[in-house]
Structure 1
Amino acid sequence: MEFSFEVVHRCQRSGARAGILHTPHGEIHTPIYMPVGTQATVKAMSPHEVLDMGAEIILSNTYHLNLRPGSELIREAGGLHEFMRWPKPILTDSGGFQVFSLSDARRIEEEGVHFRSHIDGSPQFFSPERSIDIQNNLGSDIIMAFDECIPPEAGEEYARRSTERTHRWATRCQEHHKNPRQALFGICQGGIHENLRIWSAREIDSMEFIGNAIGGLSVGEPKPVMYRMLEATIPLLNSNKPRYLMGVGSPDCLMEGVLRGVDMFDCVMQTRMGRTAAALTDEGRINLRNEKYKRDFTVIDENCDCYACKNGFTKAYIRHLFVAKEILGARLVTAHNLRYSIRLMQRAREAILMDRFPEFAGAYLDGLVK
Structure 2
Amino acid sequence: MRAIFAARWSFQRTLVTRIIPDPWALPPCPSTFPAYEPKPFFRFEIIHRSRRSSARIGRLHTPHGTVETPAFVAVGTNAALKMVDQRRADEAGLELLFCNTYHLLLQPGPEIVTQAGGLHRFMQRSRPIMTDSGGFQVFSLAHGSVFDELNMKTRKRGSPNLLLAVSENGPVFRSYRDGRKIELTPEKSVQAQKMLGADIIIPLDELPPYHIDRDALYQSVLLSHRWEARSLREHLHDMRQQAMYAVIHGGIDLELRRKSVEYLTALPFDGIAIGGSLGKDREELLALLAFLDTLLPKDRPVHLLGIADEESIRRAVPYGIDTFDSCYPTRAGRHGTLLTRQHGRIQIKSRKWERVFEPVDTTCEGFVSQNHTLAYLHHLWRAHEPLAAALLTLHNIKYMCDVMREIRTRILADEL
**TM-score, reference length from structure 2:** 0.83
Whichever residue aligns with residue 329 of structure 1, its letter is: A
1:231-263 CA distance string (max 9 Å, x none): 122321111000000111100011111111100
**Structure 1 equivalent of residue 43 of structure 2:** 4
**Structure 2 equivalent of residue 170 of structure 1:** 228
Alignment of 1:162-311 (within 5 A): 162-177=220-235, 178-217=238-277, 221-282=280-341, 284-311=344-371
Whichever residue aligns with residue 105 of structure 1, its letter is: L
Whichever residue aligns with residue 237 of structure 1, its letter is: L
CA contact (8 A) 1:154 1:191 kept: no
Equivalent pairs, count: 355
CA contact (8 A) 1:2 1:180 kept: no
**RMSD, aligned α-carbons:** 1.3
CA contact (8 A) 2:162 2:175 kept: no
1:252-302 CA distance string (max 9 Å, x none): 011111111100111101111111111112364221111222222233322
The gaps in structure 2 that reach 5 residues or longer are: 1-39, 143-160
CA contact (8 A) 1:205 1:236 kept: no
Whichever residue aligns with residue 298 of structure 1, its letter is: E
Measured in 1, the distance between the counterparts of 2:362 and 2:264 equals 44
CA contact (8 A) 2:186 2:228 kept: yes
The gaps in structure 1 that reach 5 residues or longer are: 359-370
- Residue 236 of structure 1: SS of its match in structure 2? coil
1:171-230 CA distance string (max 9 Å, x none): 101111122401011100111222212221222111121000001245x71110111111
Report the alpha carbon displacement of residue 54 of structure 1 after superposing the two structures with TM.
1.0
**Structure 2 equivalent of residue 59 of structure 1:** 98
Identity %: 39
Match of 1:134 among 192, 207, 210: 192
Match of 1:342 among 395, 401, 407: 401
Matched, 1:322 2:381: yes
Measured in 2, the distance between the counterparts of 1:161 and 1:234 equals 24
CA contact (8 A) 2:194 2:240 kept: no
Which structure: larger Rg? Answer: 2
CA contact (8 A) 1:271 1:337 kept: yes
Measured in 1, the distance between the counterparts of 2:217 and 2:344 equals 35
Measured in 2, the distance between the counterparts of 1:158 and 1:289 equals 46
Measured in 1, the distance between the counterparts of 2:333 and 2:281 equals 24
Alignment of 1:39-54 (within 5 A): 39-54=78-93
CA contact (8 A) 1:140 1:182 kept: yes
